[in-house]
Amino acid sequence: MKKSLLRLSVAAIALTAAAPAFAKSAAIQPETPEPEAVATVDEIVVTGSRIRRVDLEGVAPVSVLTGEAIDTRGFRSVFDALSQATQNTGSVQGEDFGATFTPAANVISLRGLGPNHTLVLLNGRRVAEYPSAYNGSVNAVNLANLPNAVVDRIEVLTGGAGAIYGSDAIAGVVNIKLKQKTDGFDASLRYGGTEQGGGENWRAQLSGGRSWDRLDVVGSLEYSQRDAIFWGDREISQSYTRYAEPGAVPPALFSNRNPITRAYYDPPAGLCEGLGGLQGGTVERVVAASGGSYCGSDAFYSTRTIQTQKESGNAYLGLTYHLNDDTEVFGEFLYGKTQVDNVVRSLSWNKTFWNDTAGRLETWNRVLTPEETGGAFGVGNRYDEENWNAVLGVRGHIGDWRYEAAFNRSEYVSDQSRVRLLTRIDDLFLGARQGVRDVAGTTQPVYAPAANRLYTPLTPGEFGAVADRFTDHNTSWLQDFTLSVDGDLWQLPAGALQAAAVVEIGEQGYRNQPDARLNNGVAWNVAGSQPSGGDRKRQAAGLELRVPILEQLTATVAGRYDRYEYRGESVDSPTYSLGLQYRPIPSLMLRSSYSTSFRAPDMNYIFATETRGYYPGVTDYYQCRLEGQDYSSCDIQYNMDFTRGGNAELQPEKGKSFTAGFVWTPSKAFDIQFDYYDLEISQQVTSLSEDIILRTEADCRIGRTPSGGTVDPTSALCLNYVGRVARNPASAAINPNQVTRITVNPINAASETTRGFDATVNARHDFERYGRLSGSLTYTKVLEHEYQQFEGDPTFDYLRDLSRQSDWRDRMSGSVTWEAGPWTTTLYGVRYGTIPTNDYASERDPYAVFNASVRYRVNDKASVSVIMNNIADRYPEDRTGGWPNYSIGWYDIYGRQTWVQLDYSF
C-alpha cells in the first residue's frame, strides 16, 4: 500500500507540474476561495461583531479558512486545520500526546494562553465542553469530533471579545460555520497511511442539500477509521538506549530491589534470557547504575501508541422553512459517535515485604508484557463517546430590523475505561500473607513466595483473574436561549448608526461518575474516586453600536453584562470594547481596538471533589539532584500518590486586549495585513502539573536550578511548592526522601501577559491560457509572554527562560495554488520557530514541513486527488533528553503520509 501510494503521488505531481505548459483555455474553471482578500459581498455577520456589514474586514483581526482549503492544504480534520494557524503558538496535550487526562480530545492554545481561554462556537453558538477536564484541571471544547464534509468556513478571531460573546473569549474566538444551503450532493472517499508504518486510515463523506418551494435542506454523513501508530513503528523511538547518553540502561520489566540501599538483587543466572519471548523477544539482563541487575527491555515503550486508534462517524441536518418573505423557522442537528483506543502505559505491580524464603527485605517490581495481557491493546484505554447539538429557532425582519430567537442544546457523553489490576494480584505473586515483621523500625508484611515466581510469565487465565476493565461515565451539557436584533437606528451625516443587541439565558453542567468498584477495595493501589460535578446558570445582555463619525472614520462601541450563579453564590462582570476603523484612501484601512474580558472559574476548578490516586513512573528530581544524576538518564522513578481537589473560593479572571493594525489592498491581485496585539490576564486561575511541582520543588530545596541559577527557598513560590510535596525524612531507614504524596489544586495566579504581531500577504494572478496562480503567507511573532505565579515573586519568561518556555517564538505558514484547466495543485508549508531542547540547555533550530495536493477534474462531476503531508518525510530529532528523542507536544513523528481521494458530485 505504501509503495503504490508513493508511486501514484509522484506520478500525479510530475504530471501536474507539466500540465500548465500545455494547458489550453480551461474547459472547467474551478473557483478558488480567497478568504484572506478584501471583497465586496452581500451583508454578512463576521465573527467579532453582531452587526451585519458589507466589508469582510472590521476593527478586529479575523482569519478565515474555507472548507475546501482543509483538504487542499493537507489538513486531516477541522482540528488539524486550526492547530496549524500561526496564532496557535502554545503547545498542548491531545489525543496523540500520550498519558494525559484527556487523550480523546484535541484542543488549541491561541496566543499560548491555554485552551480554556478560547471560545469555540458552532454556527455562532456555544457547544458543550469535553466532560473530562483538560490536564485534569480546566474545561475546554473538543475539536476532534466536528464534521469536515459540511464546513463552509472557519473564522478565527484572535484577541479579547468578551463584550460581544461573554465569558471564555479572552484569547480569541473560533467560529465554525457549516453550510446553510446547497444545491446537489457531493460524495468523497479517501484512503491512505504513513510511509514508515502504522496509521492506515480511510474516510467516506456524503454531503449536500436541496430546496423545495419554501423548504431548504442541507446535511452530511461522515465515517472514518484510523489505525494506531506505535513507538515501535518509528526508528527514532524503537530503542530506549540507542540514542541515549552514556550510562543509560533499558527500563526494568522484572526486578527485585533492596529498598534500603536501592541496589538490585541479581536474578538467577540465565533466567532473563529464558524470558526472551516476552516484549517482542527483547528481554535481557541489565546491569543497574545503582548496583545489581534486573531483567529489562530496550523496547520497553515500543508497544505504546504515538497516534491513537480511532473510529468515528457523524451526521448533520439543517432545515430552513420560509413562512413568508420576512420570517423563517430553522433547525440544526448534529450527532457524532467516536471510539478512541490508546496504550500509554503498561500494567505494573510492586510490593515491599519481608521475604521469609530469602530472609531479607525486598521490593518486587513486575511490568506485564503484551504477550501476557493479550496484545498491545490488552491493557489499552478506551473512550466511547457521543455528542450532539440541536438548535431550533426563528428569524426574520420587522421593518428594517432583523431578529433571531433560538434555543440551543448540546451534550457530550464520554465513557472512559482502563484496565486495572485487582487486589488479589498480591496473592498471585506472593502467596498467602504470613504476618508482619519489624524491620529497621518499620512494620512490613511477611510473605514466603516461590523462589522464581517473580520471573514466571502469566498465563491468560492468570491475567484474567487479576485484572479487569473499569469504566468511568462522564457527561457534560449546555443549553441556552438567545434573542438578538440588529439594524439601523438613524442616519448620521456620515452614514447609518447601526446597532445590535443580545439577551442570553442559559445553564451548563457536568458529571464525572467513576466506576463504583474503585471505592470498594477491588482495584489494587487505588485509594478511591468520588463522583463530582455541578451546574451553573448564566444570564447576559449586550449592546453594540457602529458609529460613522466621518465618511472615512467609523467607531465601534460594545458593552455587555454577564452573571453566573453556582453553589448559592454568584459572580458577575461588565465588559466593554472600543474600536476605530479609518480609511484615508479606499485601498488602505487602519484599525485599532481595546476590550476587556471576563471568565468565570472553570467548573472543574469549582466542583471537583477530592481525588486520591497515583502518578505512574514519575521522576523524583530532588533525589536525582542529591545523587548527582542528570534528569535525562535518572533512574529514580516510581509511582507517586497525589491528592487533587477543587477550590470554591476561586475568583474570576479578568482580561484586557489591545490590537492595532492595517489592511492595504492596492489592487485585486495583492493585499497585506498587519496587526499588533497585547493581551493581559489578571487573577488567572491555573492548576499545577506534578512535573512542574517536582521540578520547582527540587530547585527550591537545592537553592538553584540545574543550569546554576539562584533560587530563593524562602520566597512565596518556594514555600508553596515545597509545601505541596510530602516526603519521608532524610533519616528514614527505608526509602529516605521518597515522596509520599503530592497535593495538586487550582490557585489564582497574579498575571499573565503576551504581546506580538500577525502579518499576512495574499497575491493572485491570472495567466490566462496558462492558468491562475494564487498564494498567501502568514507570520506570527511572539514578542513577549510573561507569567507571575504570586504577587511579588519573580516573573517567568515563557519565551527566553528555557526551563519555562511554553510557546513557539514565531510561526509561519504559506500556500501556493496553481489552477490550470482541470488541474489544481497546492503546496502548503508551515515553519515552527525555536523551542528549548529536551534538556533545557539550549534551543533547537526552527523546523519546516511541507504538504502538497494535486486534484484532477475528470469532468464537471468527478475528480481525483492525491494528498501528501510531510513531503520530505522528516521530523526534528532531539536526543538531549533521552528517549523518545523528540519534543513531545511540539511536533509529531508520523513522517510522510499519503492519501488518494475520489470526489463525485450529483
819, 19 in Cβ contact below 8 A?
no
Do 725 and 792 have their domain in common?
Answer: no
Do 667 and 699 have their domain in common?
Answer: no
What's the CA gap between 772 and 762, in Å, rounded? 14
Among the candidates 714, 744, 774, a domain finishes at 744
43, 52 in Cβ contact below 8 A?
yes
Flag whether 590 is in a domain. Answer: yes
Residue 453: is it exposed, middle or buried by C-beta count within 10 angstroms (0-12/13-18/19+)? Answer: middle
Give bridge partners of residue 871 from the DSSP assignment. none
Do 737 and 813 have their domain in common?
Answer: no
What's the CA gap between 834 and 267, in Å, rounded? 46
Note the pLDDT of residue 421: 96
Rg of the chain over all Cα atoms, to the nearest angstrom: 29
**Tally of domains within the chain:** 2
Flag whether 241 is in a domain. Answer: no
Which cell numbers hold the place of 109?
Answer: 492554545
Q: Give the distance, in angstroms, between the CA of residue 87 and the centroid of all CA atoms in the same chain.
A: 15
E strands along 247-292, which residues? Answer: 252-257, 283-287
3-state secondary structure of 7: helix
Note the pLDDT of residue 51: 82
3-state secondary structure of 530: coil
Do 87 and 10 have their domain in common?
Answer: yes
Place of cell 423548504: 215
Flag whether 451 is in a domain. Answer: no
Residue 336: give the domain boundaries: 2-233+307-344+380-420+471-609+649-687+748-905
What's the CA gap between 803 and 652, in Å, rounded? 29
Question: Which residues, 6 or more positions from 532, have their beta carbon under 8 angstroms from its beta carbon?
Answer: 511, 512, 604, 607, 608, 609, 611, 646
Query: Residue 438: how many CB atoms within 10 A of its CB?
Result: 9
What's the CA gap between 307 and 80, in Å, rounded? 14
Do 64 and 136 have their domain in common?
Answer: yes
765, 772 in Cβ contact below 8 A?
yes
Do 637 and 769 have their domain in common?
Answer: no
Note the pLDDT of residue 580: 95
Which cell numbers hold the place of 795?
Answer: 516573573
Do 703 and 818 have their domain in common?
Answer: no
Flag whether 245 is in a domain. Answer: no
Note the pLDDT of residue 43: 62
26, 826 in Cβ contact below 8 A?
no
Do 311 and 227 have their domain in common?
Answer: yes
Do 682 and 798 have their domain in common?
Answer: yes
Among the listed residues 94, 469, 107, the one whose alpha carbon sits nearest the alpha carbon of residue 305: 94
What's the CA gap between 420 and 773, in Å, rounded? 57
Note the pLDDT of residue 626: 94
3-state secondary structure of 459: coil
Do 393 and 494 have their domain in common?
Answer: yes
Which cell numbers hold the place of 580?
Answer: 476605530
φ and ψ of 767, to 5 deg: -95, 15
Q: Which helix (H) or strand (E) holds 78?
A: helix 78-83
Among the listed residues 43, 56, 61, 36, the one whose alpha carbon sits nearest the alpha carbon of residue 595: 61
Note the pLDDT of residue 53: 67
Do 588 and 520 have their domain in common?
Answer: yes
What's the CA gap between 227 and 736, in Å, rounded? 45
Residue 375: is it exposed, middle or buried by C-beta count within 10 angstroms (0-12/13-18/19+)? Answer: exposed
Query: Residue 287: how many CB atoms within 10 A of its CB?
Result: 12
Flag whether 428 is in a domain. Answer: no
* DSSP per-residue letters across 220-254: EEEEEEE--EEGGGSHHHH-SSTTSPTT--PPEEE
835-836/843-844 β-pairing: antiparallel
φ and ψ of 340, to 5 deg: -120, 130
φ and ψ of 675, to 5 deg: -140, 130
Which cell numbers hold the place of 451?
Answer: 523462589
Among the candidates 717, 744, 771, a domain finishes at 744
10-residue averages of pLDDT along the chain (906 residues): 46 38 31 39 68 73 86 84 89 67 80 91 94 82 88 90 90 91 93 95 95 94 96 92 85 95 92 90 93 95 93 96 96 96 92 95 96 93 96 95 97 96 95 93 93 92 96 97 95 94 96 91 84 93 95 95 89 93 95 92 84 83 93 88 81 92 94 96 82 92 92 91 94 92 82 94 92 95 89 81 84 95 95 88 90 95 96 90 83 93 96
479, 507 in Cβ contact below 8 A?
yes
Among the candidates 744, 761, 783, a domain finishes at 744
Q: What is the DSSP letter of 600?
A: P
Residue 488, CA atoms < 13 Å, CB-side half-sphere: 9
Q: Which helix (H) or strand (E) holds 350?
A: strand 348-355
Flag whether 429 is in a domain. Answer: no
Which cell numbers hold the place of 59?
Answer: 476593527
Flag whether 354 is in a domain. Answer: no
Place of cell 488518494: 900
Q: Is the dihedral of CA 222, 227, 230, 234 positive or negative?
A: negative
Q: Which residues of 831-865 are buried (b: 16+ CB within 10 A; e: fewer)?
A: bbbbbbbbbbeeebebbebbbbbbbbbeeeeebbb
348-355/252-257 β-pairing: unpaired
Look up the CATH number of the domain holding residue 187. Answer: 2.40.170.20
Helix orientation angle between 716-724 and 690-702, rounded to the nearest 10 degrees: 120
851, 870 in Cβ contact below 8 A?
yes
Flag whether 293 is in a domain. Answer: no
Which cell numbers hold the place of 606?
Answer: 469549582
Do 520 and 635 have their domain in common?
Answer: no
Q: Is the peptide bond before 884 cis (omega within 30 degrees of 0)?
A: yes
Residue 420, CA atoms < 13 Å, CB-side half-sphere: 22
Note the pLDDT of residue 56: 64
608, 727 in Cβ contact below 8 A?
no
φ and ψ of 34, to 5 deg: -125, 70
Q: Which helix (H) or strand (E) holds 14?
A: helix 2-22
